[in-house]
Chain A
Amino acid sequence: MTHENAPLPVESAAPLVSVENLSVTFRSPDKTVTVVNDVSFTLREGEALCLLGESGSGKTVTMRSLMRLLPPTAHYTGRIRLRGIDVLALKAGQLSGIRGSLVSMIFQEPMTALDPVFTIGQQIAETVRRHDGVSHAAARTRALDLLELVQIPSARRRLDAYPFELSGGLRQRAMIALALSCRPRILLADEPTTALDATVQIQVLLLLRSLQRELGMSTIFVTHDLGVACEVADRVAIMYAGRFVEHGAVDDVLTHAAHPYTEGLLHSTVHAERQGGRLEPIAGSPPDLAALPPGCSFEPRCVFARAACRAGMPPLSERGAGQLARCIRGSSIHEASAPVYDAEASL
């Protein structure tokens, strides 16, 4: 940002990921629904961003847009650049060239996200051969290295195993190995631990965090789990009804929530220092995206709502160093409230 006037090569000057005013609309003959609305963010090399929100808030769609992995009914506007490449302008062949190599994805449910009739080794080697054009033997060797990288025990034997022969945790590790097979610079993880047992969740999460640091990848996590968010992320973006409502460094957002929705999420989650206290659910349910309220989308559920909230969608405004929130309340109100969440104590 400080080098705006200096003509530097695209790779080093531009952030690795840059999303500007991204909107995603699903069109069908009988209705049009805007699922992601005017989302902008950037991500530097090695940085981890967490998209947090309820089901249907648009976090998964936002992430899948980065590799245009949405059904043909999706229409994108805005701009997505990965290492300077304009993703929305790519032709099909060019797009598949960056999928799996520059940017790759870990899916939520490894049981259904892996092809049931091919072995783990075949599925990884296939990706390696697609992007690196190496021999069968070399691809298989690389697949074995990858299984060892993700700490799958008896990796050589697991290479010839089918997905149904592995436990949930091992399957997700295999999924991670698959995603890492062509050394991606950007890793997208769509609720990577939601389908796993609690104990396995933490192991997989710690593995992901250490791999991300070791390999220096930029990572975007999608989750609805605050614990996951503060464990793995540098920055967090809270999504509600297709928009970012709050965005900033994970410590700032979770300790000084500036948006009432973020506060609501924190109050409705179990954490150590509030043990014994009652959880406060957020009243109401997420709005119908096809019939959003005229003003702030969160206004119908917001305890601070007033007439001005119905006048129009508030813009994202600065709340201290790099923290943005989409709320008309000034920073003075929330500063009175005590921090409700201690990131360190959560895991």
Chain B
Amino acid sequence: MIFYVIRRILYVIPIAIGVTIVCFMLIHLAPGDPPDAVLPDNAPPEMVEEVRAAYGFDKPLPVQYAYWLSRVVTGDFGRSIMTQRSVASEVFPAVLNSLTIAAAAIVLALFVGVLFGALSGYRSGTLTDRAITFVATTGISVPHYWLAMVLIIVFAVNMRILPATGMGPGGSSGFAFNLENLRYMVLPAIALAVGPAAIIARSVRGTVSEIRKQDFIQTLYAKGLGPTRVFLHVAKNAAPTLLAIIGLQTAHLLGGSILVETVFSWPGAGFLLHSAIFSRDLPILQGAVLVLAMFFVATNLVVDVLQTFFDPRLRRG
């Protein structure tokens, strides 16, 4: 077990290096010359050269990469072209905000998805199962930004029971987990949770009904175990699949909620990426993508290790 974990952690090193290379190359793959974004169109060539030298764009690529990487590992991601503030001071609070809302959404999705998925798997073929399947399929198909707008119209504009946008009176920096601030999380969390909840419900249903058809379930009943105890066995067998989906959905929510964060003006990573793309703020883009990609790698690592905890057969791989 411990050897598997160590080996799995070592695998992260080449993956992480690969990620940094891709992130670094972003600047050079993007159309247009980086200095163009900050300089006026009619800037004299000397000024262009000066900017290039200031940002290190005049050096050969491997040198630029090594230089960039050496700064990145110390937490220095450079400066934003638009705001001139350090990339770290822009990216980390934004990722933290995304993490907050993603965590709320995942907890909600997990609760709803597992509950209805397991119910559906236990009642497979019945009316309950078909009703849940119908709702889940609808949940997967609904565009979340549309759902976000509908939620705002219904709960904020018409019923006036929840705030429409933002993170609360204190904004991003004054956010705390008190009742007033949590009210601002409700609608975005619901909008983000619907898709993952539906996906979790569908896969839990599939996994549970598949496991319940296996021979060993008969053995458990033949041993004289009751339904609760048998469910424990079903749950442990279903856990690796569920973990894999949670991992993917969490990573997806962290970086992929651009539209929902925009609709709710939630100052998260998606929101930041969105504005960085439109202002061609490449250092921000680079920093945000790198941090999110590392989260993705870390999530996968945690999922892989936890999976072997539930299913010993995976340790051999």
Contacts and interface: CB of A to CB of B under 8 A. Distances in A.
Given A113-B216, A117-B310, A96 B224 contact: yes
B222 to A, nearest CB: 5
A107 B223 contact: no
Given A99-B223, A99-B224, A117-B311, A69 B237 contact: no
A118 B224 contact: no
A106 B216 CA distance: 11
Contact of B224 (A107, A117, A130): A130
Contacts of A107: 215, 218-219, 222
Given A116-B313, A127-B223, A69 B215 contact: no
A127 B224 contact: yes
A164 B315 CA distance: 12
B225 interface: yes
A194 B266 CA distance: 63
Interface string A155-191: 0000000101000000000000010001000000000
B220 interface: yes
Nearest to B236: A117
Q: How large is the interface on B (under 10, 10 to 19, 20 to 34, 35 or more residues)?
A: 20 to 34
**A67, A93, A100, A109 interface centre (most CB from chain B within 10 Å):** A100
Contacts of B236: 117-118
Contacts, number: 74
A130 B222 contact: no
B214 interface: yes
Interface of B is mostly: helix
B225 A126 contact: yes
Interface string A89-129: 00001001111110011010100111111100000001100
Contacts of A182: 224
B226 interface: yes
A104 B222 contact: yes
Given A107-B219, A114-B216, A164-B313, A130 B233 contact: no
A99 B229 CA distance: 14
Contacts of B313: 116-117, 162, 164
Given A116-B311, A117-B236, A96 B219 contact: no
Contact of B229 (A112, A113, A130): A130
B55 interface: no
A326 B215 CA distance: 34
B11 interface: no
A131 B215 contact: no
Contacts of B214: 112
B216 A115 contact: yes
Nearest to A108: B215
Contacts of A93: 226
A116 B216 contact: yes
Contacts of A117: 233, 236-237, 310-313
14 contacts: A96-B224, A96-B225, A100-B225, A107-B218, A112-B214, A115-B216, A115-B219, A115-B237, A116-B216, A117-B233, A117-B312, A131-B224, A178-B219, A182-B224
Given A107-B219, A130-B225, 16 more contacts: A69-B222, A96-B226, A97-B224, A98-B224, A100-B222, A100-B224, A101-B224, A105-B219, A107-B218, A107-B222, A113-B216, A115-B219, A116-B216, A117-B311, A127-B225, A178-B223
Q: Pick the 4 closest A-B CB pairs, nearest first.
A: A100-B224, A99-B224, A112-B215, A100-B223
